[in-house]
Amino acid sequence: MMDDYNLSFWIYLAVVTVLVGGGIKKILASHLSTGPTLVVWLGATVLVERLWAFCLPAMLLLVLLALICYIYLRSRTGPPPTLPVQGKAVFITGCDTGFGNAAAKCLDSLGIDVFATVLDLTGDGARELQKSCSSRLTLLQVDITKPQQVQQALLDTKAKLGLRGLWGLVNNAGVCVNLGDAELSLMSNYRGCMEVNFFGTVSVTQSFLPLLRQSKGRIVNISSPAGDQPFPCLAAYGSSKAALNLFTETLRHELQPWGVKVSIIQPSSFRTAPSSNNNYWEQKHKQLLQSVSPALLEEYGEDYMTETINLFQSFTKHANPDFSPVIDAIVQALLSPQPQARYYAGPGLCLMYFINSYCPFSIRNRFLQKIFLKKTLMPRALRKQSDQEVNHGLHNNNNEEKLQQL
């Protein structure tokens, strides 16, 4: 029965599957009405069907489809439409370094009134913002895990806005306080990540939502692919981002009747100040070695735990130092007439999510291991077990040889 289907049939089936699957995925992910979008994708599918019916060679069909996509993309090369910035104000958390610091500078240069929170008003990041930004920028000292400071920031923002609402909230503040196997991560590490990445973000969002509803504005949450995919050694961080992702998706549905649009940004690997601070991670590693129980330390081995931190530091050295993909996504989410629900900022993310969504588990698992921490050591207990099995096998082989000689 399989012989009745030639290669061209399977190519045709793959093309149609991609078209239909892509159409359904876009319909589910977009805010556009389902009817017109479905008609367009069904029309494209029928077009492929008719072309194939006229015996168009498979390779020529693929070239035609590639040409259509190229013309379509070329027609959209102009800058995407944006809303006017006059009178708009945006509140950004975590502006000491990294994405928050760069986003505050960019939005200020566009003419937006920026409220930038920092942990240290006398730190390098705060001083840099004061020097490089206009007088419109307002610096606020805020630890988002402390409700009193969040409420004081709300009062200060209201006082400066007057009767205006707040157009945008960018929840950027986040931490990764631990790197290691889930079993080796202390409960304080899990709580530390959740306090900042999830509970702190929820606290800020709830506090500023009345201002955002007043202006029918935007919420932009900076998350991580670690919240969608099980990156090894990032259990504490990934769990907090997974909670943030679900909170964001729920918020997007709930705020739609209010006219508030909610977006989430998934950055790829970027060389931010916290992740590239080797002294910080070495200090965390020493604390972990001192805090983990002697039994666990014996099971895993200090060399195994040291390799993890060394691999992470090597990984961050090759991370992208250019934040522009993330900053561009933040600007689009704030100023696009129809912002996307999700923005994938940085190279390689589309491939990563495609593999995670459509490939078998074994391929997904191997892909994650190849792109992140490429461990060479097993935990000490497993190494001992493996050595014992090898020695046991050699002993049995020697016994069999002696019996054969007898």
From the list 190, 237, 304, 344, the catalytic residue is 237
Evaluate if residue 53 carries a pLDDT over 70: no
Buried b (16+ CB within 10 A) or exposed e, 21-46: eebeeebeeeeeeeeebeeebeebbe
Residue 271 confidence (pLDDT)? 80
Residues 124 and 249 in one domain: yes
Evaluate if residue 155 carries a pLDDT over 70: yes
Tokens of 117: 């929170």
Evaluate if residue 3 carries a pLDDT over 60: no
pLDDT digits (tens, 9 = 90+) for 280-290: 778 878 888 88
Residue 335 confidence (pLDDT)? 97
* Angle between the N-to-C axes of helices 302-317 and 278-291, in degrees from 0 to 180, rounded to the nearest 10: 160
Inter-residue contact 105 to 129 (CB < 8 Å): yes
pLDDT band of residue 90 (cuts 50, 70, 90) is: very high
Residue 385 confidence (pLDDT)? 84
pLDDT digits (tens, 9 = 90+) for 261-318: 999 999 988 887 666 677 777 887 888 888 888 999 899 988 888 888 888 877 777 7
Residue 95 belongs to some domain of the structure? yes
Give the residue numbers spanning the domain of 245: 89-371
Residues 26 and 99 in one domain: no
How many Cα atoms are found within 13 Å in the side-chain-facing hemisphere of 387? Answer: 7
Of all residues in the chain, what percent carry a pLDDT higher than 70?
Answer: 74
* Closest of 151, 258, 246 to residue 203, by C-alpha: 151
70 catalytically annotated: no
Residue 383 belongs to some domain of the structure? no
Residue 124 belongs to some domain of the structure? yes
Residues 50 and 154 in one domain: no
Residues 188 and 299 in one domain: yes
Residues 27 and 67 in one domain: yes
Residues 119 and 51 in one domain: no
Residue 396 belongs to some domain of the structure? no
Residues 264 and 317 in one domain: yes
CATH number at residue 243: 3.40.50.720
Residues 55 and 147 in one domain: no
Residues 300 and 332 in one domain: yes
pLDDT digits (tens, 9 = 90+) for 163-199: 888 999 999 999 988 788 899 988 999 999 999 999 9
pLDDT digits (tens, 9 = 90+) for 322-333: 899 999 999 999
Residues 48 and 167 in one domain: no
Residue-averaged pLDDT of the chain = 82
pLDDT band of residue 59 (cuts 50, 70, 90) is: low
Average pLDDT over residues 141-148: 97
Residue 401 confidence (pLDDT)? 58
Single residue among 26, 51, 74 that ends a domain in this structure = 74
Residue 388 belongs to some domain of the structure? no
Residues 93 and 70 in one domain: no
Evaluate if residue 32 carries a pLDDT over 50: no
Residue 138 belongs to some domain of the structure? yes
pTM of whole model > 0.95? no
Q: Taking CA 261 as the corner, what is the angle to CA 237 and CA 97, rounded to the nearest 5 degrees? A: 40
Residues 229 and 276 in one domain: yes
pLDDT band of residue 252 (cuts 50, 70, 90) is: very high
pLDDT band of residue 33 (cuts 50, 70, 90) is: very low
Tokens of 360: 């078998």
Strands lying side by side in the sheet with 218-222: 138-141, 113-118, 89-92, 168-171, 218-222, 261-267, 342-345
Residue 399 belongs to some domain of the structure? no
* Closest of 18, 22, 8 to residue 51, by C-alpha: 8
Q: How many domains does the chain have?
A: 2
Residue 224 belongs to some domain of the structure? yes
* Closest of 283, 269, 271 to residue 371, by C-alpha: 269
